[in-house]
Copies of this chain bind each other. A is one copy, B any other.
Amino acid sequence: MEPEKMQKITIALDAMGGDNAPHEICKGAILACREHADLEIVLTGDEEKIKPCLSEASSDVLKRIRRVHAAEAVSMDEQPTAAIRRKRDSSMRVAMEMVRAGEAQGCLSAGNTGAIVAGGVLVVGRLPAIDRPALGVPLPTINRWTFLLDVGASVRSRPLNLCQYARMGNVYSKKILGVAEPEVALLSNGTEEIKGDEVVAEAREMLMKSSLNFRGYVEGDDVPWGRADVVVCDGFMGNVILKFGEGLMQGAKSIIEEEMGHRFMPRIGVLFMIPMARALWARFNYEKYGGTPLLGVRGTVVKAHGRSKAPAILGALSAARNFIIRDGVGQIREELE
């Protein structure tokens, strides 16, 4: 396709969000522009700090990276709603305002999760059929990608919220991950009907009557074994198990590395162990999921992990681009209205 005929995709990127901002964020933007010829990125944040981070970019890439100055930044431990309300000139809010104004089709931030959710609701706006948005994450499991939500947009949820998460997750699995007939399940403390707390039990009743391919409860071990395409839980639970999984795999990685440096291990053994470590890491690396979409808002809003470095930002930008190309927001709106 000729460049001038190509449909451009513009993503506003919060250059000041996350533990490695702005350097790794900008580097991620450069990587993404190299990978996707249709991508245009607007970096929002402190002009003075962003500029030097772009020195390595080629002129072709630089043509597709704009900068919009934002004097403030939302810090990681700030009270989310207050930060979004008061810091009108923060890099995060400016990126979100661009989505609301239609100047960008989506935005991405590795910053304060609560503020991203608050901004999604207050700046970008909720979809009318959704009471609360949800953060979802495609998790690598033993045999498929399982979309887990909510992983932290809210803390606790009512049964109605869980049902809406289930329906949004179903759309995401079908339209973005390409699963023909997603199996949807509720995360519980056992698979039997008598399990669950009151909230989960009521959501189960509601989902049984829905048109979803709903298979009832799944247990904790059903997640890594990939026994459903969409797993629904409240944000408190989702947050804890996502981080628990990350920690467990990082712990396993550090044990493997320790074992590789072990004095009783002949050097040659290391060569043989690398493919295994790599296979394990590739399959279960919970840091690599590349962007957590905020579902239920009127635009594409994606959160990247706070510890993201350039490759993770590239992954999250690719996920955001994919969500835009497949009209994720439109698909959810259509399904739920």
Contact = CB atoms under 8 A, between A and B. Distances in A.
Nearest to A240: B220
A187 interface: yes
A152 B38 CA distance: 51
A201 to B, nearest CB: 10
Interface stretch (A160-168, A260-268, A289-297): A260-268
Interface in A271-297: 271-273, 275-277, 279-280, 283-284
Given A251-B142, A266-B272, A269-B272, A220 B244 contact: yes
A247 B259 contact: no
A156 B197 CA distance: 7
B283 A255 contact: yes
B220 A254 contact: no
- The complex is assembled from copies of this chain, and their number is 2
Contacts of A219: 239-240, 243
The contact size tier of chain A is: 35 or more
Nearest to A192: B77
A241 interface: yes
6 contacts: A77-B192, A155-B189, A189-B240, A220-B239, A221-B244, A264-B275
Given A189-B240, A240-B241, A252-B284, 16 more contacts: A142-B254, A152-B189, A196-B236, A219-B239, A224-B244, A224-B250, A225-B251, A233-B240, A237-B240, A241-B244, A259-B280, A260-B276, A269-B269, A272-B272, A273-B273, A273-B276
Interface of A: 77, 79, 141-142, 152, 155-156, 187-190, 192, 194, 196-197, 219-225, 233, 235-237, 239-252, 254-256, 258-260, 262, 264-266, 268-273, 275-277, 279-280, 283-284
